[in-house]
Amino acid sequence: MGANTGNRESYLLQCIDLLNLHAGTVTGMSSIYESEPWGFDDPVWFLNQAIALETRLTPQALLECTQHIEQTLGRTRTKTGYQARTIDIDILLYGDCVIKTPDLVIPHPRMTERMFVLQPMAELAPDVEHPVLKRTMKVLREQCEDRKIVRKQDSKKARKQKSKVVRITSNSVLLIILFAFLFSCRGRSYNTQQPEENINITEQQKTEVLLRVNRQLVEEESKEIESFAERKGWQMQTTGTGLRYMIYERGRGAKAVTGKVVTLAYTVSLLDSTVCYSSEQLGLKKFRLGHNDEERGLDEGVLLMRVGDKARMIMPPHLAYGLTGDGDCIPFRAIILYDVELIYVE
């Protein structure tokens, strides 16, 4: 994905959400990189990011889907060459496919010329091979002669974002947001004399697939949380939304109530014990209950507490930072653990 107008980072996050909704399941993301405009001059640089996506869409259907997402986010295509844009989604790879049609060429014909493509690709999928050149993304990056500046974006909170390198299989698609897509082609080649099969999918079928995928993701997250709690020996309760919590030390103060301002001492960590944020580093957390849109699970958990209580809460992504993470320490689709002490209610 690439964006250089408006709120660039917001466009990238919206694009990821729309891909999850309409194209498949995002399974990996590179760090966000900032790069000089390529092919034209503009004072505003691009933000670029590589994405891994699992999809059942055919290459042509995937192209149409990404173009629709671009239009939804305000992209207007013209015939005047390279120019500024809200979002740009390029299909770089589709598994080991070699595709050549009037509308779509994969591998992307200019991907090896562009460092802003190869840098995030080499981070996300360093060992994936170009199906024609038979060289890995890491090697192609090292051999690229493009000298335009490409730099990893600094975190807003002065932290380095942990990029997630995933193992890309033939069942995945790579995008670069600039997107690269990987998907299994089983060795097929597409050309203008071999048109792609046209598969008509109704809106009801799309909805059914999305619901099925979502249920599967929720089930997998639930199993991961249950396994983690069992290993820790924690006896946790589960709310209707999927929040797991346990109050391991009881206080005697006022109960938390919607609309009240609460003050917390806290530690936020991932299930692999990585500490992301804490009140020791950033100070006590203070917010009004019912107005914490960023972490709905925290609101829900604190409402079960009273002053002096200490609690652990395990939040699946939909109750924490969603599919995209926070762009800093929290990665995409992260399950997070809150260790909380309720200090004040006012």
Q: Which active-site residues does the annotation give? A: 75, 85, 88, 90
Residue 29 token pair: 């993301």
CA-to-CA distance for 295 and 279, rounded, in angstroms?
A: 16
Residue ranges of alpha helices (H) inside 73-202 are 115-124, 137-143
Query: CB–CB of 320/297 below 8 Å?
Result: yes
- Antiparallel, parallel or unpaired: β 310-315 and 285-288: unpaired
Residue 299: which of 256, 254, 237 has the closest Cα? Answer: 256
Length in residues, the chain: 346
CA-to-CA distance for 162 and 136, rounded, in angstroms?
A: 22
Residue 143 token pair: 């051999």
Say which amino acid occupies 129: E
φ, ψ of residue 208 to 5 degrees: the values are -60, -40
Residue 21: which of 148, 279, 206 has the closest Cα? Answer: 206
Residue ranges of alpha helices (H) inside 79-136 are 115-124
Whole-Å CA distances, 256 to 178, 242, 336: 45, 20, 22
CA-to-CA distance for 75 and 67, rounded, in angstroms?
A: 9
CA-to-CA distance for 332 and 334, rounded, in angstroms?
A: 5
Say which amino acid occupies 133: L
Say which amino acid occupies 101: T
Residue 122: which of 198, 214, 30 has the closest Cα? Answer: 30
**Strands laid side by side in the 90-93 sheet:** 25-29, 50-54, 173-176, 90-93
Residue 4 token pair: 């250089």
